[in-house]
Amino acid sequence: MIEFESVTKTYPGQTTAVSDFSLVVPSHRTVVLVGSSGSGKSTLLRTVNRMVEPTSGRVLIDDEDVRERDPVALRRSIGYVLQHGGLLPHRSVLDNIATVPVLNGVPKREARTAASELLERVGLDPKVGRRFPGQLSGGQQQRVGVARALAADPNILLMDEPFGAVDPIMRRELQEELLRLQADMHKTIVFVTHDVDEAFLLGDEVVVLREGGVIAQRGTPAEILGA
């Protein structure tokens, strides 16, 4: 479970990106933060893995303040998927996926075998593992990004516009794939998007943000659409 308690973030230069934001993300659920560009979605997401420190308020994971955790260890324990995969260009796909497990002490061969299985789980041919990120389509790269985020078997997945740069048909495939994966995996997911349809498709709960990270509306898709 992730809890945001009165989180406020003001960046130097006085931009208040998030103002007094509180939310509980229950374990094994997908909560989607949806809002237009600049509404504070990424800022909020990054407070969970301490890439952003709140100006005030706090973030708890399973009742523990994230500030109690070593930031590097914390980041390795949380899956993070970005719009532009952030894959290492000079490493094979398999090594990209295996990097964090190896850093965590998993023997290299074991990590590669697991990486190959993960490729299949995200709908890629394991042969893709030998290629380099630049040789893949945008959709394939994002699948690799998801596989990499899952490699350390995190309880939490943070997804920041993961399918935002992919064409609409591929995006729909990736969305369906994530729904299938989540039906098995039951991760605790915070998913950020500016695409309202995507939010309603993927979220067990949807939080609509206004500028300044203020909650405009929240609830299950049914509650919001019925409202």
Q: Does 171 participate in binding ligand ADP (rule CB under 6 A)?
A: no
Q: With respect to ligand ADP, which residue has the nearer C-beta, 37 or 105?
A: 37
Three-state secondary structure call for residue 22: strand
Of 113, 112, 114, the residue nearest 153 (C-alpha):
114
Q: Does 37 participate in binding ligand ADP (rule CB under 6 A)?
A: yes
| Minimal distance, residue 215 CB to ligand ADP, in Å | 13
Considering only 40, 139, 145, 162, the residue that binds ligand ADP (CB under 6 A) is 40
Strand order in the sheet with 2-11: 15-25, 2-11, 56-61, 64-65
Distance CA 80, CA 157 (A): 6
Q: With respect to ligand ADP, which residue has the nearer C-beta, 24 or 225?
A: 225
Considering only 38, 57, 123, 164, the residue that binds ligand ADP (CB under 6 A) is 38
Q: With respect to ligand ADP, which residue has the nearer C-beta, 106 or 196?
A: 196
Query: Hey, which residues between 43 and 62 contact ligand ADP (CB under 6 A)?
Result: 43
Query: Hey, which residues between 14 and 33 contact ligand ADP (CB under 6 A)?
Result: 15, 17
As separate numbers, helices (DSSP H) first and strands (DSSP E) second, the chain gives 8, 10
| Minimal distance, residue 16 CB to ligand ADP, in Å | 8
Q: Does 41 participate in binding ligand ADP (rule CB under 6 A)?
A: yes
Distance CA 188, CA 191 (A): 10
| Minimal distance, residue 9 CB to ligand ADP, in Å | 8
Query: Hey, which residues between 183 and 212 contact ligand ADP (CB under 6 A)?
Result: 196-197, 200
Considering only 19, 30, 42, 141, the residue that binds ligand ADP (CB under 6 A) is 42
Distance CA 132, CA 203 (A): 32
**For residues 16 and 210, is the Cβ–Cβ distance under 8 A?**
no
Distance CA 64, CA 43 (A): 20
Query: Hey, which residues between 150 and 169 contact ligand ADP (CB under 6 A)?
Result: none
Distance CA 181, CA 175 (A): 10
Query: How is 156-183 classified by DSSP, letter by letter?
Result: EEEEESTTTTS-HHHHHHHHHHHHHHHH
User: Where on the chain is the footprint of ligand ADP (CB under 6 A)?
Assistant: 11, 15, 17, 35, 37-43, 196-197, 200, 225
